[in-house]
């Protein structure tokens, strides 16, 4: 079965060569490498033209008006023909054996989705594993599509939101995970992700975190009422924990308004934390931070988190 890899690119001239080289060096060769140049204003397009000329049977690119990463990925998917679909961001890279291992694992398990672990790389040279797979709570892997291999038949009816929303990855992957008949996991860090570079998630725009509410309202239709437990897990982890902690750390003048709206959404969907199975199964430390954020004590939870970081 053919393998198509889709790369959305925006102003990626400094990193895209490493990205494309890593994809083209796969031990299981990629059949289609489709790059969507999302209105870049640097030298990205000239680099893509060069790769398309060097690898005419594999590399294809299309330049479109800037419309956001979600739209670019959707366009790439529409241009693809592979039975296996992978996504790689233009500032990341992958191990040479990533797709060979993911395809082998998926075929052996007859799985719709295979995933590996991610290694984050920081500007100071340090690294850290992220997006840890949890066999007891598979929905925890939602939020990041690039360490995953999707069977085309699984995602043909799924699209990334195109409203230039943050967290569009969470919606896409959550839908795919919920619909997958079987998922298999490789406990190896095969995907490499740059952290600390300028990105949509690394700024002081508190209001954009309200996109989380739009994404969650989309997912309500997907998960409720049959999958309420998994849906509450997404609310608790993406909004009450990660989202609110991210906003609290900002200096934006409107951050308290954003925190209020995020908290009210959680309280409306989960009126009593103690009644949530997803909350009860979290670790004690995570429950403490969630409880504080739920009750409007985000300043105190920030202090505790900073103290823990200082001791680590």
Q: Assign 59 to helix, strand or coil.
A: strand
Does residue 69 lie within any of the structural domains?
Answer: yes
Could you write out the three-class secondary structure of 122-156? CCCCCEEEECCCCCCCHHHHCCCCCCEEEEHHHHC
Provide the domain limits for residue 240.
207-311
Q: In terms of domains, do 139 and 260 share one?
A: no
Q: In terms of domains, do 156 and 222 share one?
A: no
- The C-alpha torsion from 102 through 27 and 43 to 40, rounded to 10°, is -20
Which ranges of 183-297 would DSSP assign to H, the alpha helix? 211-223, 228-234, 244-248, 255-269, 277-280, 284-294
Does residue 202 lie within any of the structural domains?
Answer: no
Number of domains in the chain: 2
Q: In terms of domains, do 183 and 61 share one?
A: yes
Confidence bin at 163 (pLDDT 50/70/90): confident
Q: In terms of domains, do 97 and 157 share one?
A: yes
Q: In terms of domains, do 15 and 123 share one?
A: yes
Does residue 9 lie within any of the structural domains?
Answer: yes
Q: In terms of domains, do 150 and 286 share one?
A: no
| Residues making up the chain, counted from first to last | 312
Q: What is the pLDDT of residues 113-123, one digit of tens each?
A: 999 999 999 99
CATH of the domain at 39: 3.90.550.10
**CB within 8 Å of 60: residues ≥ 6 apart:** 32, 33, 34, 35, 52, 79
**CB within 8 Å of 298: residues ≥ 6 apart:** 244, 245, 247, 248, 259, 292
Q: Given 3-state DSSP classes, what are the helix, strand and coil percentages for the chain, each rounded to the nearest 5?
A: 45, 20, 35
Q: What is the pLDDT of residues 243-289, one digit of tens each?
A: 999 999 999 999 999 999 999 999 999 999 999 999 999 999 999 99
Q: In terms of domains, do 276 and 163 share one?
A: no
Last residue of a domain, which of 166, 194, 222? 194
Find out whether the peptide bond into 166 is cis, omega within 30 degrees of 0: no
Does residue 56 lie within any of the structural domains?
Answer: yes
Q: In terms of domains, do 39 and 137 share one?
A: yes
How far does Cα 133 stand from its chain's mean position?
13
Q: In terms of domains, do 76 and 216 share one?
A: no
Does residue 261 lie within any of the structural domains?
Answer: yes
Do 174 and 218 touch, CB atoms closer than 8 A?
no
| Rounded-to-integer distance, Cα 277 and Cα 260, Å | 24
Last residue of a domain, which of 194, 229, 259? 194
Q: In terms of domains, do 82 and 111 share one?
A: yes
| Rounded-to-integer distance, Cα 229 and Cα 252, Å | 33
Does residue 200 lie within any of the structural domains?
Answer: no
Q: In terms of domains, do 278 and 164 share one?
A: no
**Residues 8-25: what's their mean pLDDT?**
98
**Residues 69-75: what's their mean pLDDT?**
96
Task: Return the pLDDT at 199.
Answer: 44
Last residue of a domain, which of 160, 194, 228? 194
Q: In terms of domains, do 168 and 246 share one?
A: no
- Cα separations (Å) of 197 from 9, 123, 193, 220, 293? 15, 8, 10, 32, 28
Does residue 199 lie within any of the structural domains?
Answer: no
Percent of the chain with pLDDT over 70: 97
Q: What is the pLDDT of residues 77-113, one digit of tens each?
A: 999 999 999 999 999 999 999 999 999 999 999 999 9
Confidence bin at 204 (pLDDT 50/70/90): confident
**Residues 208-227: what's their mean pLDDT?**
94
Does residue 306 lie within any of the structural domains?
Answer: yes
């Amino acid at each position: 079965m053919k393998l198509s890899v889709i790369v959305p690119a925006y102003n990626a001239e400094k990193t895209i060569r490493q990205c494309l080289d890593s994809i083209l060096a796969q031990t299981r060769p990629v059949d289609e490498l489709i790059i969507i140049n999302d209105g870049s204003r640097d030298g990205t397009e000239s680099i893509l033209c060069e790769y398309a000329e060097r690898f005419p049977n594999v590399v294809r690119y299309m330049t479109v008006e800037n419309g956001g990463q979600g739209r670019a990925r959707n366009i790439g998917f529409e241009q693809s023909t592979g039975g296996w679909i992978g996504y790689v961001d233009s500032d990341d890279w992958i191990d040479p054996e990533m797709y060979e291992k993911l395809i082998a694992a998926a075929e052996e398990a007859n799985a719709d989705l295979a995933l590996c672990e991610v290694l984050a790389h920081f500007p100071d040279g340090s690294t850290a594993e992220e997006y840890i797979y949890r066999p007891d709570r598979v929905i925890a892997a939602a939020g990041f599509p690039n360490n995953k291999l999707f069977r085309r038949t699984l995602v043909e009816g799924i699209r990334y939101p195109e409203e230039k929303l943050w967290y569009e990855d969470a919606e896409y992957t959550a839908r795919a995970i919920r619909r997958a008949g079987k998922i298999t996991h490789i406990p190896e860090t095969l995907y490499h992700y740059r952290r600390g570079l300028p990105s949509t998630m690394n700024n002081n725009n508190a209001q954009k975190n309200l996109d989380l509410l739009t994404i969650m309202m989309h997912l309500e239709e997907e998960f409720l009422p049959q999958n309420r437990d998994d849906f509450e897990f997404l609310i608790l982890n993406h909004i009450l924990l990660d989202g609110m902690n991210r906003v609290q750390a900002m200096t934006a003048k409107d951050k308290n308004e954003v925190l209020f709206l995020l908290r009210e959404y959680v309280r409306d969907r989960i009126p009593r934390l103690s009644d949530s199975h997803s909350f009860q199964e979290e670790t004690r430390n995570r429950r403490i931070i969630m409880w504080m954020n739920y009750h409007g004590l985000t300043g105190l939870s920030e202090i505790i988190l900073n103290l823990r970081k200082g001791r680590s």
